[in-house]
Amino acid sequence: MNQYKHIPLGFTRMPTQDQVRASREFLERMAMRRSVRFISPEPVPFELIENAIRCASLAPSGANQQPWKFVVVKDREIKRKIREAAEAEERESYEHRMPADWLEALAPLGTDWRKEFLETAPYLIVVFRIDFGLTQTPEGETKTKHYYVQESVGIATGFLLAALHMSGLATLTHTPSPMGFLSTILNRPKNERPFVLIPVGLPSPDATVPTIAKKTIAEVMEIK
Ligand SMILES: Cc1cc2nc3c(=O)[nH]c(=O)nc-3n(C[C@H](O)[C@H](O)[C@H](O)COP(=O)(O)O)c2cc1C
């Protein structure tokens, strides 16, 4: 079995006060992140999208398999198709599929089946999980097992959302259910499955967000 060669870690030790400052500044910026459901059609530089995806693809992953693909949609007609398919699924879900307790959990957010942001956002990033490796050999297809796909893609998506936010962009973590239509519209191979759909852009000038509360540090952290 091949072994990776080891090289010295590139690590710069920061003075403690710089660490604390950086940590506070990052926290302050991240505390301003919200899910935005009103996105302006105003264009944003593509480099912001590409850099955020570069950042996401640096995330740790099970056995370094990097089981993700980020499909960036900027084409108007593809966005229209995605909106149409998402709204059809969401309408069915809201009106027939979601049990009462799910609808109750969503009620405070004021969301419904309408997804205008899927057409107004300058970019949609569709994150796909690659469930297994697929290579073509003269003998046919070879499959390789992927480990911890869900965890890995979840972490990469977190990196992506943080990077987009830190670049001054608004995002929504959107999971129209079921999401199979994304594989068809975007013509994805059979080893990929949609994970999340992220509209990205600037917020509309009149964008609002629901008043929600985050758990306190005492609720989410335990020290032993
Ligand atoms: C896995 C996941 C799926 C989500 N799916 C949707 C969705 O389909 N539609 C939507 O409007 N918001 C969706 N959200 C956004 C949440 O409603 C939102 O993150 C939550 O209310 C907290 O608000 P905040 O992101 O502004 O802090 C999703 C969030 C996550 C993490």
Ligand 1 pocket, residue 30 CB under 6 Å:
no
**Position 137 confidence tier, pLDDT thresholds 50, 70, 90:** confident
User: Within a 13 Å sphere around the CA of 13, how many CA atoms are in the beta-carbon half?
Assistant: 2
Residue of 199, 198, 191 lying closest to 68 (CA atoms): 191
Is 70 exceeded by the pLDDT of residue 143?
A: yes
| Confidence grade of residue 126 (pLDDT, cut at 50, 70, 90) | very high
Of all residues in the chain, the percent with pLDDT exceeding 90 is 93
Residue 1 pLDDT exceeds 70: no
> Strands 140-145 and 170-171: what pairing?
unpaired
C-alpha dihedral sign at 13, 15, 20, 24: negative
Q: What is the pLDDT of residue 42?
A: 98
Mean pLDDT for all residues in the chain = 96
> Which amino acid residue places its CA nearest to atom 27 of ligand 1?
34
Instruction: Look at residue 195 in the predicted model and tell me its pLDDT.
Output: 98
Is the CB of residue 114 below 6 angstroms from any atom belonging to ligand 1? no
Indicate whether residue 93 lines ligand 1 (CB < 6 A): no
Binding site membership of 212 for ligand 1 (Cβ less than 6 Å):
yes
Give per-residue pLDDT as tens, 163-191.
999 999 999 999 999 999 999 999 999 99
pLDDT of residue 2: 78
**CA of residue 52 to ligand 1 center, whole Å:** 19
d(CA 34, CA 51): 20
Residue closest via CA to ligand 1's atom 15 equals: 173
Distance 175 CA to ligand 1 centre (A): 8
Structural contact between residues 198 and 173, judged by C-beta atoms closer than 8 angstroms: yes
Question: Which residues are CB-neighbours of 56 under 8 A, at least 6 positions away?
Answer: 68, 70, 156, 157, 159, 160, 163
Share of the chain above pLDDT 70, in %: 100
Triad 13, 157, 73: Cα angle to 5°: 125
Model pLDDT, residue 136: 87
pLDDT in tens, 34-51: 999 999 999 999 999 999
> Could you identify the residue written with the tokens 């890995």?
152
pLDDT at 171: 98
> Residue 47 has which token pair?
């480099």
For the CA of 177, the closest atom of ligand 1 is 8
Q: pLDDT for 72-110, tens place per residue?
A: 999 999 999 999 999 999 999 999 999 999 999 998 898
Global pTM value? 0.97
Q: What is the pLDDT of residue 73?
A: 98
Q: Looking at ligand 1, which atom is closest to the CA of residue 197?
A: 8
pLDDT given for residue 139 in this prediction: 86
Question: Could you tell me the distance, in angstroms and rounded to a whole number, from the CA of residue 146 to the centre of ligand 1?
Answer: 27
CA nearest ligand 1 atom 13, residue: 174
The pLDDT of residue 153: 98
CA triple 66-67-72, angle to 5 deg: 95
Please give the single-letter amino acid code of residue 1.
M
d(CA 217, CA 27): 13
